[in-house]
Amino acid sequence: MFDQVKDQYASLGVDVEKALEAMASTPISLHCWQGDDVGGFEGGDGELGSGLAVTGNYPGKARTIDELRQDLDQAVSLLPGTHRLNLHAMYGDFGGKSVDRDAIEPEHFQSWIDWCKSHGMGMDFNPSCFSHPKADAGFTLSSPDKGIRGFWIEHCKASRKIGAVIGQELGSACVTNVWIPDGMKDLPVDRLGFRKRLQESLDVVFEEKLDPAQNIDAVESKLFGIGSESFVVGSHEFYLGYAASRQTALCLDAGHFHPTEGIADKISSVLMVVPELLLHVSRGVRWDSDHVVLFDDPTQAIMQELVRCDALPRTHIGLDFFDASINRIAAWAIGTRAAQKCLLLALLEPREKLREAELAGDYTARLMMLETAKALPWSVIWEEFCHRNNVPGELALLDAIRQYERTVLAARS
């Protein structure tokens, strides 16, 4: 069956084996925070703040670093291809000690580095500028309070240094992504003042030049949040200008724009002015609700644009959702595999023939080929990819998840 499908695609000029090679070499960065509902391991009550919310209380949440790593092991065992770990600073291995965020050091993340080494995975990193007393006023890097601003500057600087150590030890550049929740519930008077302070703070954070082979700086925008409905300091326009002028990577989060706005159309424009792109693949429903990624039109459009722009070498693909209403390992598996299936479908497009038709003005042939590609048996190739990577196919996935739930997660309740 697989050989027959390969021949079908070959008739359209598509090399299936080349597509599978691209799949195998394109990692998805797995976000650790799906496993424990964005709690982290700093101690305290673990209450999520700064306009973020996780809904649901499905049994079996990871409560310790060991449990989170156990769950990540299980999730990775269900995913074909290569992957990375995406870690927030609040997930450090602090050994029961109280370490404030401006004092974090590489040693607090060494056990995570060792875990990634044992799995042959790269790792990405994020300063955690939320769920902290010094973020309760709604402002961090743009705060009018110089002391608050300084605290978060030091946290972000420390995070970059940790990212560089991660990249050096793992032999793969760490993407260190800065997102802050700063904003206002109602209309501000001095938007410019807040944005000037944010720009000045970021310039201090990025002042020390780090080896891009070890650390890649990225900045991330947002349209609005709970408690910042009227004004977000780090808007898309702000960060697009900042990333273009400072030549950092730009993060586009699929849930950080207007509910009816997709990010696929932005990719080609952004790639013209920034060196690299970071994607947070998510699914917002009415707001930035970070639902599990699906094999849906918006995600397919994102992956199509990456492939059509030949942008995979310049793009870092990560996930960003946290659903506590369903089995958390299932959330990782369903969301990651959905993103991968969208990527595979994009790689199987007859791109050369489509481009030829478009340049010739033959839009009839272009439309016909796009529709024909949707109907081809691409799922046979997906199953082959799973088989080659020794992970469950679609029909066996739920059984594997249920088995882990019975033997591991149930004991945590």
Residue 179 is among the residues annotated as catalytic for this protein: yes
Marked catalytic residue, from 31, 134, 280, 291: 280
Residue 73 is among the residues annotated as catalytic for this protein: no
Residue 15 is among the residues annotated as catalytic for this protein: no
Residue 222 is among the residues annotated as catalytic for this protein: yes
Residue 256 is among the residues annotated as catalytic for this protein: yes
Marked catalytic residue, from 42, 217, 320, 323: 320
Element (H, E) at 221: none
Marked catalytic residue, from 42, 253, 276, 405: 253
Residue 297 is among the residues annotated as catalytic for this protein: no
Question: What's the rounded Cα separation, in Å, for the pair 340 and 336?
Answer: 6
Residue 236 is among the residues annotated as catalytic for this protein: no
Element (H, E) at 319: strand 315-319
Residue 145 is among the residues annotated as catalytic for this protein: no
Cα distances (angstroms) measured from residue 78 to each of 119, 121, 143, 160, 398:
14, 15, 43, 31, 10
Q: Helix, strand, or coil here: 220?
A: strand
Buried-exposed string 66-104: b where 16+ CB fall within 10 A, e elsewhere: ebbbbbbebbbebbbbbbbbbbbbbbbbbeeeeeebeeb
Distance, first Cα to last Cα, the chain:
44
User: Could you say which DSSP state residue 53 is in?
Assistant: -
Marked catalytic residue, from 37, 71, 220, 405: 220
Marked catalytic residue, from 88, 222, 236, 341: 222
Residue 208 exposed, middle or buried by CB count within 10 Å (0-12, 13-18, 19+): exposed
Q: Quick count: other Cβ atoms within 10 Å of Cβ 340? A: 24
Residue 288 is among the residues annotated as catalytic for this protein: yes
Marked catalytic residue, from 36, 42, 290, 323: 290
Marked catalytic residue, from 112, 115, 179, 378: 179
Marked catalytic residue, from 256, 291, 316, 341: 256
Marked catalytic residue, from 288, 323, 349, 405: 288
As annotated, the active-site residues are: 179, 220, 222, 253, 256, 280, 288, 290, 320
